Amino acid sequence: MNTRNLMHRLAVIGFAVATGCLSVPASAAPQDAVGPKTIRVLSAAAIDAASPQAAIWQKAPATEVPLQTAFPGYVSIVGTADTKEVTAQAVRADGRLYVRLSWTDPTANTAIKDTNQFVDGVAVQFPMNGKVSTTPFMGDSKNPVNVWHWTANGHVENLFAKGFGTLTAAPIAGLHGTAVRTENGWEVVFSRSLLAKPGLGVSLQGRRAIPIAFAVWDGNNQERDGLKAVTLQWWQLSF
């Protein structure tokens, strides 16, 4: 395996180790520290929301999700993640779920450069059983999680984990990721059918809510593997 591919795989594996632009709509506001951590899904008629700059995102509620530096996972990786929050939005339309994430990142890092610079990235995580009791730190042997992962070198991956060190790739299963580089950062939309074949993704059909977690990597800050900004507990995606 060449160095570029090896470093890319290490960046993906790091999520398992550590986790357990259009302007943002005016509705974007920090969550109350003691209130429910909820991201409201906008239900719409048949519409293509795959572009981060589609008009529908001007209507979808926006939630500022605070992020913290994750446990780095490897003793050789130390530092503080740069990204302090990510703005999350979601739309359900024509049998698909669209999740839009936007965040500030002054530099676009789209390629690995030796050991000094890594690619920007973002990921969302869902418990396969849909239960908040599942550990947000990559699940466990009885309660796996499904991870949707995008990196700025154009990769989108459908991943599964059953605890630390168990992250595995699965067929993409209709998962798409579309990104736009803005003046101040990134806007990324993940989209997938609400239905998923057994073993290929979390089932979203018919749900009123499902837990969701987030992670962001800033490649210019040498973030990779476990060094990244994350949510340390589940949020609720409310349909």
- 102: domain CATH number is 2.60.40.1190
Report the alpha-carbon angle 184-125-237, nearest 5.
85
User: What are phi and psi for residue 192, nearest 5 degrees?
Assistant: -160, 155
Residue 228 lies in a domain: yes
The values of phi and psi at residue 57, to 5°, are -70, -15
Total Cβ atoms within 10 A of residue 137: 22
- In a domain, residue 182? The reply is yes
- Across the range 119-129, mean pLDDT stands at 97
Residue 34 within a domain = no
What does the pLDDT average to over 69-97? Answer: 88
Residue 13 lies inside a defined structural domain of this protein:
yes
Q: How far apart are CA 235 and CA 237, in angstroms?
A: 7
Q: For position 235, what pLDDT does the model report?
A: 97
Nearest in space to 130 (alpha carbons), one of 211, 58, 213: 211
CB 45 within 8 A of CB 153: no
> Does a structural domain hold residue 28?
no
Note the helical H segments in the chain. Answer: 3-18
* 36-61: pLDDT as tens digits: 499 999 999 888 899 999 999 999 99
pLDDT digits (tens, 9 = 90+) for 162-191: 987 788 999 998 999 999 999 999 999 999
32 falls within a domain: no
Domain residues for the domain of 132 are 3-23+39-238
Instruction: Tell whether 210 is covered by a domain.
Output: yes
Residue 200 lies in a domain: yes
**Domains of the chain: total:** 1
